[in-house]
Amino acid sequence: MEENQITNRLTCMIVDDEPLAIKLLENFVQRTPYLELSASFDNSVAALQEVQAHPVNLLFLDIQMPDLDGMELSRMVPEETRIIFTTAFKQYAFESYEVSALDFLLKPVSYKKFLEATTKALKWFGRITPASSPETKTDDENPFVFVKSDSQLVRVDVSTILYVSGLKDYTRFFFTDGKRPLTALMTMKAVEELLPASRFMRVHRSFIIALDKIKSIDRNNCVYIGDEVVHVSDVYKDAFNEYLKKKS
């Protein structure tokens, strides 16, 4: 067996009363080769019955739910099951550690944070050494992402993204194939964490560009991409110039 190889997958269960949140986590699990989804529930009572009858390694657990909230449920799961809380409310962070939660993910959950939490789980269960990290796998293994738009999750092929522009809590995805731009209920920070860093870079407070779609760059640090001209702002100039040095 090679050093740092993951021996076998971790089984997991998702419990959340929001269908969109369940779909997002299901997508994350599907994209992560060392995880195996056993079941998803939007009902915490039914989830408790299932996890007691068929324990899993990991439970992705929302906190605010009707009937039986996540904190109550976490105290009833089998001892061998580790909890990763997912919630939109920061005030539960301290309480989550009182019940020995493995990690606490704040919604909207990014894939980067999801990987960090599940890496902790791998180390907890002794499936991987501290020197190894699943985050080192190539970005080409994740050819698509899900974006929240108009109360649904829309699949977006990463290779078709030209650039993303942002305004407060909303972003717009622009595509190479001339498709109509997609407006998403996401911050620029969330998009930045979602897209593979080897292929996309934030060059302005309001712009993330696909590096392989750049047509030209002028002496004023203006990037020509599609029909747009994006000025690289001072905050992001050093990182962008470092990228250019590697490619020049």
Q: Which residues are CB-contacts of 153 (< 8 A; sequence separation ≥ 6)?
A: 20, 23, 24, 27, 146, 147
Residue 24 DSSP class: H
Whether 47 is covered by a domain: the verdict is yes
Residues 126 and 201 in one domain: no
Residue 135 confidence (pLDDT): 44
CA distance linking residue 199 with residue 212, whole number of Å: 7
CB within 8 A of 154, min separation 6: which ones? 146, 147, 148, 182, 184
Q: Does residue 174 sit in the same domain as residue 81?
A: no
Residue 182 lies in a domain: yes
- Total of domains in the chain: 2
Q: Of 104, 136, 168, which one is at a domain's C-terminal end?
A: 136
The domain that holds 67 is classified in CATH as 3.40.50.2300
| SS3 at position 138 | coil
Q: Please give the full DSSP string across 32-96, using - where no structure is assigned.
A: -TTEEEEEEES-HHHHHHHHHHS--SEEEEESS-SSS-HHHHHTTS-TT-EEEEEES-GGGHHHH
Q: In sequence order, which ranges of 156-233 are alpha helices (DSSP H)? A: 188-194
Distance of CA 157 to the CA centre of its chain: 15
* Owning domain of residue 175: 146-247
- Do residues 162 and 213 make contact, with C-beta atoms less than 8 angstroms apart? yes
Name the domain boundary from 112, 136, 160.
136
End residue of a domain, out of 136, 158, 173: 136
- Residues in the chain predicted with pLDDT less than 50, given as ranges, are 1-6, 94, 96-97, 129-141
230 in a structural domain: yes
**Domain co-membership, 109 together with 161:** no
Angle among Cα 100, 106, 110 to the nearest 5 degrees reads 115
Whole-prediction pTM value? Answer: 0.55
